[in-house]
Structure 1
Amino acid sequence: MTVLPTLPVLLPILGAALTVVLGTSVATQRVIALTTLGAVATVAGVLLVAADRTGPVVAALGGWAPPVGIALVADRLSTLLLLVSTLVALAVLVYAISQRIADYGRRMASSTFYPMYLVLSAGVSLAYLSGDLFTLFVSFEIMLTASYVLITRRTTTQTIRAGMTYVTVSLLSSLLFLTAVAMVYAATATVNLADLSERVQTLSPGLRTVLSLMLLVVFGIKAAMVPLHFWLPDSYPNAPAPVTALFAGLLTKVSFYAMVRTQTLLFPHDQPWTLMLWFAVATMLIGALGAVAQNDINRLLSFLLVSHIGFMLFGLGVSDARGLSGATLYAAHHITVLATLFLVSGLIVRRTGTVALDRMGGLLRTSPALAVLFAIPAMTLAGLPPTAGFVAKLQLLQAGAEAGVGSTVVAGVVIVASFLTLYALVKVWVRVFWGTQAQTVEDPDPDDELEVGTARTPWPMYAATAGLVVVSLAIAVFAGPLSEVTGRAGADLVARDGYRVAVLGSAP
């Protein structure tokens, strides 16, 4: 069992190596990539069951025991998010293969997509399972390298500009992250998270505050927390639909996970965290208002992505087991629903040939299946009952009501942001699916080799999107058992001792 935490990292790396060696056979690359992600999803499911039954599963790499050696830790929080993230990555890969973005359009095959896709998956897995700050830093650099290649595969002016914005901001946050790691090590002589959970408490309050804020800024940039979100709406909409879906579903949530892990383990709060609640309010409202103002469907979804990061920040700001449980459940549902909406957006743009909402219309008659694929995740994101979004928001609202006056006010903002989300998505529905279809369509990117403005859509693209819709519905159907798992995960985050004992083998 202690070997299992290494497999979600090792399998994608080995798969990436095989796809490079066998780069001349695109079909073989596809089989390797799909098989690898399927295996990772299976391992993640086994780890989730094991962690929920017996506690965190720890793998000490190289035979060196923590805190000296590197440890991979699979607990309830990390394995749940890893499982959902891998299922999303698998569905998005099927979509990408069918759209032919994996083969760089219709003109030529490419040997870079599958290796980079698997390397990104390895980085995501490593981030969820990292047991120390430096390994967490390495995982983000792995994700940065792979994601930059994926976001700039189409060498157009827009994609290069978006890629430069993305990589510049990411490198800045990486520099801050490395500085924070160095400061933590200088102050405590360790970077192991379990060991730091005790040693950080011996530091002066001022130094603890500085270290906490530095890590908050680092992960706030990567998670697109307002006011550090400016890069995301300019970067994500310029990537192909499956790449944007992958980034929207995984990368921001990995950063939120890192924020939760470090802040709860190293800098715990016994009372609601006022600063985080303010960040949550700003993120929810500014993101939702930005979405309402958009005419570009991808920019609208990007701003909604920012807004709903604020819902998770609210759960972190409440700083109790119920709030963290709600944030975990919301993150799991958000990974799925945002990826689904961006995939649906790709299908819409493929049929209409434009990203402008005011140039669309009439798809309810010509493509009712596409209307259903949009309506279900849209209702889930808006939090309409009985969807998974409603269940997660209800947990957050209950946590806010129990936490005190300040949290209750923020809970009111959750309701306002939810109505703004509903308004933005209704605007998309009205303009895309009602009315008459525009007579003239335009290719949003003339240099894009992917086929747009056509009704010819491979069925696996619909099947992959429908698969994610089924996953989001399953989260709602099994909301009871999942809420129990996330409840235990929230209790673990507040208690902290279970994590430390599992890694170091001794109580503080």
Structure 2
Amino acid sequence: MINLLLFPIIIPFLFAIVLLFFKERIVLQRVLAAVGLIAALAASLFLVHTVKQDGVQTITLGSWPAPFGISMVSDMFSALLVTTTIIITLLVVIYSFTSIGEAREHYFYYSAILFMVTGVNGAFTTGDIFNMFVFFEVLLIASYVLIVLGGEKRQLRESIKYILINVVSSALFVITVAYLYSVVGTLNMADISVKIAEIGQPGIITVIAVLMLIVFGIKGSIFPLYFWLPGSYAAPPIPVLALFGALLTKVGVYAIMRTYTLFFVHHTDFTHGLLMVLSILTIIAGCIGALAYFDLKQIVIYNIVIAVGVILFGSAQMNESGLSGAVFYLLHDMLIKGALFFLIGMIIYVTGTSDLRKMGGLMKTHPSLGWFYLIAAFGLAGIPPLSGFIGKLLIVEGAFQADHIWGSIVVLASSLVVLLSVIRIFIYAFWGEPQALPSVERKPYRRMMVPTVVLVVLSVLYGVGTEWLLPYMTDASNVLLQPSIYIDAVLKE
């Protein structure tokens, strides 16, 4: 049973390899990709149940005891992230059947998605800091394939920037891990935490903490390192954008949350103070971008930046309310961003443009699309009882407990900006006089509606079912608040 924590990584990996042999058989590729993800989802749901019942699950590969072998660790935080990742990826794959185009499907599209999921789930599950770098590279290499697939001029131009930025950040990651290893003499994350506690986090460790914030901040797109994100994410087609927007930045956010609650917990005034200042600046930068554009993609992409700031602001409080809110809001944002990208993809499909000023009157021609968009928009803005409300409420409560009043005011004000940015889309696209629409087939539209509705409904249930989910969120935040739970599970297995 303990080996089950590897299944959500191994299953997508094996299916990705199998799909490489069926380049020309599109229908078989679709079926195998969906079957692989359903199998991985079943394994991850059972893993969540096992972690809830039996506590943190660990396995050290190669029959070496921890910290000498490579540890894989599944606590409630990582198990919930893995499960959410697989749900979103499965729905992206179903959405892709009618929206990505057969030309892209022929060039290992589904294999690249499954390799990317392997990397994402591996990064969430690993208990070894160098292994985290390895899984980052797996997901990045797969994302390089996805961002250029189709070979459009804009994709190729933006992909150069995306690849260069990630190559630089990966090099910095290796250098930072080398610095850390030279000080503490171990790569096992639980053992790193123990060693740092023994030497009392000297100045060099604080320098390493800042370097890690830069590395993961580039990948998670915090201020001022988010500059690459809006252009790069807007270039690929909508299913790829949904996958990137819902998952990739969250891996960087997870890495910051994990290292800043496990390693750098002894002199938090500087490290967590810096994290809090940068998170507030990230929120403000995202708000400016979300209001500045009339392009559907750019508005929602800048909302990713806002959410990254809100989650990290909650993490920086280092109290139960703040961390519970950060975990809750992180999962909410993965679901709601996926739903919103699906919805704007359908708006672009129907109107033939992503420019708000060329739209209007869709409520008369596509009312169901309008209502589902409105539900998702309210969820993103945090209108109660939808999922965005609970997480943000807990984060603000944590900020008040830590006497960070101004930061909580910025978080609350950002909710109004988010609401304004998404309602502006609704007003421009769905109200007013209907514009002349290009003739499009209704069948693909209806097929795209199915995963979109499922994801919107899931996000609503996530908010409405808060009471039922709270024990899981509490377990996840307890592991972050009490590193000893994680350390004991790994080193005393």
> Shorter-chain-normalised TM-score: which range?
over 0.9
Tell me: CA distance 1:64–1:467, structure 2 relative to 1, closer, same or farther (3 Å).
same
Q: 1:215-239: per-residue Cα shift (whole Å, max 9, x none)?
A: 1111111011111100110111111
Aligned to 2:247: 250
* 1:362–1:437 CA contact under 8 A, matched in 2: yes
Query: Does residue 194 in structure 1 map to residue 193 in structure 2?
Result: no
Deviation (angstroms), 1:61: 1.4
Query: Does residue 469 in structure 1 map to residue 487 in structure 2?
Result: no
Identify the range of structure 1 (418-427 vs 432-441) with the bigger mean alpha-carbon deviation: 432-441
Q: 1:82-111: per-residue Cα shift (whole Å, max 9, x none)?
A: 11111011001100112143x226xxx514
Q: 1:449-500: per-residue Cα shift (whole Å, max 9, x none)?
A: xxx8665534221001111111101211221132232122212212111111
Match of 2:115 among 111, 114, 119: 119
Query: Does residue 367 in structure 1 map to residue 354 in structure 2?
Result: no
Task: Summarize the alignment of residues 441-452 of structure 1 with structure 2, pairs less than 5 Å apart.
Answer: none
**2-side partners of 1:67 and 1:182: how far apart?**
17
Deviation (angstroms), 1:31: 1.4
Tell me: CA distance 1:269–1:465, structure 2 relative to 1, closer, same or farther (3 Å).
farther
**2-side partners of 1:458 and 1:430: how far apart?**
21
TM-score computed with the length of structure 2 as normaliser: 0.96
SS at match of 1:481: helix
Task: Summarize the alignment of residues 61-460 of structure 1 with structure 2, pairs less than 5 Å apart.
Answer: 61-101=61-101, 103-104=102-103, 110-201=106-197, 202=199, 205-268=202-265, 273-404=272-403, 407-439=404-436, 457-460=444-447
Deviation (angstroms), 1:154: 1.7
Aligned to 1:5: 5
Structure 1, unpaired ranges of 5+: 442-451
**1-side partners of 2:157 and 2:368: how far apart?**
35
* 1:73–1:129 CA contact under 8 A, matched in 2: yes
Amino acid in the other structure paired with 2:97: I
* 1:95–1:464 CA contact under 8 A, matched in 2: yes
**2-side partners of 1:247 and 1:490: how far apart?**
25
**2-side partners of 1:236 and 1:437: how far apart?**
29
Share of identical aligned residues, percent? 34
Amino acid in the other structure paired with 1:21: F
* 2:390–2:463 CA contact under 8 A, matched in 1: yes
**2-side partners of 1:5 and 1:385: how far apart?**
35
Aligned to 1:489: 476
* 1:383–1:393 CA contact under 8 A, matched in 2: yes
**1-side partners of 2:25 and 2:14: how far apart?**
17
**1-side partners of 2:201 and 2:341: how far apart?**
46
Aligned to 2:40: 40
**2-side partners of 1:251 and 1:242: how far apart?**
13
Q: How many residues are paired up?
A: 490
Deviation (angstroms), 1:246: 0.4
**1-side partners of 2:247 and 2:58: how far apart?**
23
Q: 1:319-354: per-residue Cα shift (whole Å, max 9, x none)?
A: 112211110000000000011111111100001011
Amino acid in the other structure paired with 1:25: R
Task: Summarize the alignment of residues 495-506 of structure 1 with structure 2, pairs less than 5 Å apart.
Answer: 495-505=482-492
**2-side partners of 1:492 and 1:152: how far apart?**
38
**2-side partners of 1:275 and 1:476: how far apart?**
31
**2-side partners of 1:204 and 1:278: how far apart?**
21
**1-side partners of 2:185 and 2:268: how far apart?**
29
Give the alignment's Cα RMSD to 1 decimal. Answer: 1.6
* 1:360–1:438 CA contact under 8 A, matched in 2: yes
SS at match of 1:73: strand
Amino acid in the other structure paired with 2:338: A
* 2:71–2:490 CA contact under 8 A, matched in 1: yes
Deviation (angstroms), 1:440: 7.1
Amino acid in the other structure paired with 2:60: A
Amino acid in the other structure paired with 1:427: R
**2-side partners of 1:275 and 1:156: how far apart?**
40
* 2:346–2:445 CA contact under 8 A, matched in 1: no
* 1:344–1:374 CA contact under 8 A, matched in 2: yes
* 2:294–2:355 CA contact under 8 A, matched in 1: yes
* 1:165–1:235 CA contact under 8 A, matched in 2: yes
Deviation (angstroms), 1:302: 0.6
* 1:361–1:435 CA contact under 8 A, matched in 2: yes
Deviation (angstroms), 1:437: 2.9
Deviation (angstroms), 1:203: 5.8
Deviation (angstroms), 1:204: 5.2
* 2:201–2:266 CA contact under 8 A, matched in 1: no
SS at match of 1:457: helix
Amino acid in the other structure paired with 2:215: V
Q: 1:294-326: per-residue Cα shift (whole Å, max 9, x none)?
A: 011101111111011111011111011221111
